Amino acid sequence: MTPPPSESVLITVTGKDHPGVVSRLTGLLAEAGAELLDVEQVVVQGRLTLCLLVRLSPASGTLETLLSAAKTLGVTLDFQAVDAPAASPAEAASSRHVVTAVGRALGARELHSLTQVLAGHGANVERITRLSEPHLGSVDLHIRLPPGQPPDALKHALLELSMQSGGFDVALQRESLFRRGKRMVVMDMDSTLIRIEVIDELARAHGVGEQVSRITERAMHGEMDYDESLRQRVALLRGLDASVVHQLAANLPLTEGAETLVRVLKRLGYRTAVISGGFSVAAEALKARLGIDFAYSNELEIQDGKLTGRTVGRIVNAQRKAELLESLARAEGILLDQVVAVGDGANDLLMLERAGLGIAFRAKPRLRAAADTSISAGGLDSILYLLGLTGRELLEVS
């Protein structure tokens, strides 16, 4: 059947992949003066799927010629008349998002649960791309939401899915230039870049662990603000030998994937920073150890080789973290949309909100719900997939 002239034709080619298939078919289309509107091709395990959206003259006989050529090439060719997309470019762009799933392994069960959530929110999956190598551990699903539908409800549903599964993380991002255009990654330190809370370790070494924990608990329940809680906790460290602090800083346990993340970011030209409510001795040690570009944190006052129980200078609290992120991006000539911020606690919330992409890493439920996305199942190197990188690309820079 030859479609009417007012309709476009979707040509689908499937079969064993080999050189010359695309060249032969597009050559015939060119000879017929066909207008190519869209094209997409994927090869999985040597099997080709090629889609060509074209506008043809109904009397040209081109489809018959293509069918004959496909037979010669050993592939199957089907075609159907389709309507041209009705959405404007602006509407189409605003409804396009990328869902990234990252886990140890993704199987049919995981993809089913994910696509079931997407279908329940009216999201149409247009393309699925494998990211990880060699195992199927991460995929991008390029989706389109119904026109005018905000992504918030879908974001929360995907967050709930990842929390229930426990085996993989799911991130939702708008498909835009800035998704792969990030230029800076800013990280919290304690329980994010490293696996411990430095102040807790120092408190235990000084025999005041329980007292410090009680103050931390009160702050978490909103009974005192961060600044006051920090002052009270640091005061309990008075008299601790500074050598204990330096020894701890020299042996900080890195979070899984931290070294890979920073190494790849540096190879790709990203700027990296630690902005922490922790202590400068530890932050500076990490800066030197990993080659991080910038480090901002609280400075413990030391006199005669002992902690005085006070800090020096302005406290790095939630507001200060956000201010430092902004000033650092401004100084480096980087847009906030190009900044990624990673943290685990409530005092990271403002920093994550200012960044183009805020990631809650193994965080409390409140921060996970407020952040752009969260990572709980994987290591810090999972962030690389959220930046749009693939396993093959990571192998090139590892």
CA neighbor of 106 nearest in space, from 349, 383, 378: 378
φ, ψ at 20 (rounded to 5°): 105, -10
Instruction: Give catalytic status of residue 372 as yes or no.
Output: no
Nearest in space to 383 (alpha carbons), one of 252, 254, 264, 253? 264
Report strand pairing: 138-144 vs 168-174: unpaired
H or E element in which residue 42 lies:
strand 35-44
| 24-30-32 Cα angle (round to 5) | 105
Q: Which of 17, 140, 169, 188 is catalytic?
A: 188
> 395 exposed, middle or buried (CB, 10 Å; 0-12, 13-18, 19+)?
exposed
One-letter amino acid for residue 198 of the chain: V
152 is catalytic: no
Exactly one of 17, 140, 169, 190 is catalytic; name it: 190
Count CA within 13 A, CB hemisphere, residue 219.
19
- Asked whether the CA dihedral 209, 211, 217, 219 is positive or negative, the reply is negative
- Return the SS3 of 231: helix
Q: Which residues are catalytic?
A: 188, 190
